[in-house]
Amino acid sequence: MTIIELKNITKRYNNTPAVENLSFTVEEGEIFAILGPSGCGKTTTLRLIAGFDMPDDGELVLAGKTVADKGVFVPAEKRKVGMVFQDYALFPHITVRENIAFGLKNLDDKEKDAIVENMLQFVGLSGLEERHPFHLSGGQQQRVALARALAPCPVTVLLDEPFSNLDADMRTQMREEMIKILRKSGTTAILVTHDQEEAFAMADRVAVMNNGRMEQLGTPEEVYHYPTTGFVADFVGKADFIDGTIEADGIRTEIGLFPNNTRLEIGEKVQVMIRPDDIEIEPAGTGCAVIKDQQFKGSEVLYTLELPREKYIHSVLPSTRTLPAGTRVDVKARPVHLVAFQNGKAVSEKS
């Protein structure tokens, strides 16, 4: 069943669109990520769904009911949409227990207590219920925020950069825990983030946004391996683009010939996307590239390679062997899937 449906939603602030013509659907139980750079309209999208802002155009359907359209606007408190705010927005004047119970209306105290007890156990906070939010660590606050949002059984939960206030260690741990909690409760969720790793690790599908518009929508694998635009290719992982020409036997580039999976005519120019993990290098006196720089990253080494026509590309290799800068090397590209672009749009066919 479709839980959330956006149809051509537009929201403008002072006549500049923050979100433009946005359409997507989220299915029941799905974890959906919105990924994009700062200012691309992620928070705006969530606020429109939650009902804090009114769209200027378009229609919004929640669990089969139109909540925003021309002449229709269901206020936030009637939407049953849970939200985990970026800085959690826990009520400082009441305890953890009261925070979690806050959204439980029309229930007697016994029922409330039972639900709160349940939620506390669910998110692993038992024993902290009488504390006030400011006596909790960042990770604990976040769990309270999640419990508070989940307690009234919302139709969906919206998470706005929920991990951005946590340090790196905590972030990975909370990410795993949150996934577990969301999956276990079968919650439909939208996660907003500007960290592609986070989106990939958590979501069933990812929508990549740029400048208020959706650039691409797909599974993490699709978005990573088959980016449809140059922006997506670049944003979801490190990518180099090298010039190529369509020839009879394939796409000719400086680092070799690639199979032609486009429908372009011979002689047309394209840019071929190469990810650093697609590039292998081998020291060779006759090699076409020179190592300009190498960065040791622990388990891997990132090499910057200079090609004859002064173009740089990157390669990531296991750090079991490191090559010093200045080494001349042979470059072999083995892309899992080759994607060629023309004018910033993918022209390759999916295999």
Ligand X SMILES: Nc1ncnc2c1ncn2[C@@H]1O[C@H](COP(=O)(O)OP(=O)(O)OP(=O)(O)O)[C@@H](O)[C@H]1O
Rounded-to-integer distance, Cα 274 and Cα 315, Å:
9
Given the complex with Mg ion, which of 164 and 261 has the nearer CB atom?
Answer: 164
Each residue 302-331 as x (binds ligand X by CB under 6 A) or -, in order, gives ------------------------------
Geometric angle at alpha carbon 234, from 229 and 236, rounded to 5°: 95
Which is it for the CA torsion 170, 193, 303, 221, positive or negative? positive
- Shortest distance, position 180 Cβ to Mg ion, whole Å: 25
Contact, 314 vs 350, CB < 8 A?
no
Q: Of 63 and 76, which CB lies nearer to other proteins in the complex structure? A: 76
Q: What are phi and psi of 173, to 5 degrees?
A: -65, -45
The span of 72-80, 121-129, 167-175, 262-270 binding other proteins (CB under 8 A) equals 72-80
Q: In whole angstroms, how close is the CB of 267 to ligand X at the nearest point?
A: 41
Find, among 223, 217, 221, the residue nearest to 235 by Cα: 223
Number of C-beta neighbours around residue 130 at 10 A: 10
CB count within 10 Å of CB 15 equals 6
Per DSSP, the three-state class of 22 is strand
Task: Please choose, out of 99-107, 207-215, 224-232, 297-305, the segment that lies near other proteins by the rule CB under 8 A.
Answer: 99-107
H-helix or E-strand spanning residue 293? strand 289-296
From other proteins, ligand X, Mg ion, none, interface partner of 282 (C-beta below 5 to 8 A by class): none
Q: Is 13 in the site for ligand X (CB under 6 A)?
A: yes
For position 148 contacting other proteins by CB under 8 A, the verdict is: yes
Q: Which is nearer to ligand X, 35 or 338 (CB)?
A: 35
Map residue 198 onto helix, strand or coil.
helix
- Per partner kind, with CB cut-offs from 5 to 8 A, the member of other proteins, Mg ion, ligand X, none near residue 81 is other proteins
Query: And the tokens for 204?
Result: 């069933």
- Amino acid sitting at position 107: L
Stretch that binds ligand X, among 34-42, 133-141, 310-318, 330-338 (CB under 6 A): 34-42
The nearest distance, CB 330 to other proteins, in angstroms, is 49
Residues within the interface to ligand X (CB under 6 A): 13, 18, 36, 38-44, 194
Q: Which residues bind Mg ion (CB under 5 A)?
A: 43
**Binding stretches for other proteins (CB under 8 A):** 50-52, 75-83, 85-87, 89, 91-94, 102-103, 105, 134, 148-149, 152, 165
